[in-house]
Chain A
Amino acid sequence: MRYYVQRVALAILLLLAVSMLTFGALNVLGDPLFNILGPVAGDVNNPDSVKMIELAKREFSLDRPLPVRYAIWLSDFVRGDFGVTFSSTGQPPVSGVISERLPRTVTLVAMAQFFAILVSIPWALITASRAGKFSDRISTLNAFFLVAMPNFALAVILKFVFSIKLGWMPLTFVADDPLSSRLFQMILPALTIGLPVAAVYQRLLRTDIITTLQQDFILLARTKGLSRTRILLVHALRPSLFSFITVVGLNTGALIGGSIVSETVFRIPGIGSTLVESVLRNDFPVVLAIVMIVASAFVIINLLVDFAYTLIDPRVRR
């Protein structure tokens, strides 16, 4: 029990540190006033502008010292109030933006993860059973190619081949379409994120299956005359999945990173593309909220993976 409490406490501490750093960086390095008021913010000689600046400062509580603002933001944030967007009207509220866009990113990441697993397991099984042969070497080379292709470049290529040249896939994401067609529109973006990850998973799982295949119980299964497919699927796969599951869990964070690029290329209004837009518009409350959501997801997933370990292997708890 103590172990769990310690880990959760550490995770909370971590998120506090992340939020302080982000909040500090945004407020020290950036200039929120310019974004709210436009050019007026720099016009300190004109009394009218000064009045507007004062007003805006009070409205967005920018006149308080930084630690106080942080405390206010934090107490609002933990209660689910993410504040107002930095614009002339302050509308829409950040939580509205997030609740509209987060589901799309979650769907996209889940789909990417699904594709990655779907591709990597059969790929690893086939190559592991032919380790060292010609087809395995070709596949290793392919994995290398996939990993070396930056995801924004992969996105452009997929878009060119499947949407433009072959016309199999829709070009854009339409937020008002029914769910099924929106899911269809997400296939290419999800492949963009998932394919390079599939190559990483495949490399890992292939090595683990090769190790498993050298065990005595596989030899026994073979002497019993079981078929190759049956041995691979029933006997070899399950004991090889341990580190695979860990990496799949930990990789979810990397997938969120990939979704930023993919959402931008395919114009999906998720939190990844919103992050880029908001960062360019200096819309700090939105940026802060997204960074916190992403970091929380990251930390919570790590925590769950660690806890899953303790269930499998109690020695980790110490």
Chain B
Amino acid sequence: MNTPNTNSGAETEVARKKLGFGFWLCVGWLGAMVFIALFTPLLPLKSPTANFLDPSQGRPPYSPSWKHWFGTDKDARDVFARTMHGARISLTVGFSAITAGFLVGGTIGVMSGYFRSWIDRVSSFVFVVLLSFPSLVLAILLTSLIERSLLTVSLVLGLLSIAPVGRLARAATLQYSEREFVLAARQIGAKDRHIIVKEILPNVAIPMSSLALLGMAVAVVAEGGLAFLGLSVEKGITWGGLIQLGSDASKTLEKAPWISFFPILMLFLTVLSLNFAGDRLRTFFDVKEMTL
């Protein structure tokens, strides 16, 4: 039992002071992904839908080579180009979902935490109802019933993040709504709207925003899962869809593992970066007991 208590105090103290090398590495990766997602059509990539049949190599799928860095799938399409294109939908859906969730959930949460009364009771019940489904079940249910476009899939995942985000916003607001500076503002006659926007929001926004990255990781995974089940954006290339395509038949997976493994690697690194950077930020801002 070599003094187990040496670390906690000192270590967290140091860790809080700086974000560390790992954090910037993750930010770098995420930056690269965002760049790729934004400028996919402009990048010198091969066409993601063209068939690069090469009679000298026999029948596709072709393994990774100089010509096709990540190999090709069984229609001789370039896996590298497809994977890069996949970044687009995954990141767009992840980002818009969490933005929608934060706007709606955040507003409802702050309102119910500040005003309490019936607003709080109604919204809390709605949150509990939303949280009584495993989120993947609800996502499958909703996406199966609608036309699956970039917008609607984002909205469905945004809807799913309303409840967890709303709960956090409510909890954070409760912490501040009875603090001295809020009471003082009310004493000098400030209106509710002024108090919420100027006094409470700045205090709630910082811890909440450090959770945005963690939330986005959840949304990206959820989109991948939906795509894997064939329930994400119908037109277009997604990481989940690519992984599904490469692993659908055991024979494909056995003969050409690269078709699914490169998208898995990209998805994994992206989710890892979001989680890691989010976790670092959370420690940095010292947000406690808040999990998505």
> Which residues of A does B touch, CB under 8 Å?
14-15, 17-18, 21-22, 25-26, 29-30, 128-132, 144-145, 147-153, 156-157, 159-160, 163-164, 171, 210, 213-214, 218, 222, 228, 231, 253-254, 256-257, 260-261, 264-265, 275-276, 279-280, 282, 287, 291, 294-295, 298-299, 302
Contact = CB atoms under 8 A, between A and B. Distances in A.
Contact of A128 (B4, B140, B261, B267): B4
Nearest to A218: B1
B158 interface: no
Chief secondary structure at chain B's binding surface: helix
Contacts of B275: 144, 147-148
B136 A153 contact: no
Given A156-B247, A157-B264, A231-B1, 11 more contacts: A17-B125, A29-B146, A132-B8, A144-B275, A145-B272, A150-B224, A156-B260, A159-B247, A218-B1, A261-B136, A276-B231
B221 A17 contact: no
Count class of interface residues, chain B: 35 or more
B32 interface: no
A26 B279 CA distance: 38
Chief secondary structure at chain A's binding surface: helix
Given A29-B146, A153-B268, A213-B4, A294 B137 contact: yes
Nearest to A228: B1
Given A131-B7, A148-B272, A164 B228 contact: no
A295 B5 CA distance: 42
A214 B4 CA distance: 7
B68 to A, nearest CB: 20
A18 B4 contact: no
Contacts of B1: 129, 213, 218, 222, 228, 231
Interface string B218-253: 000100110011110000000010011011001001
A280 B140 CA distance: 9
B134 A254 contact: yes
Contacts of A130: 2
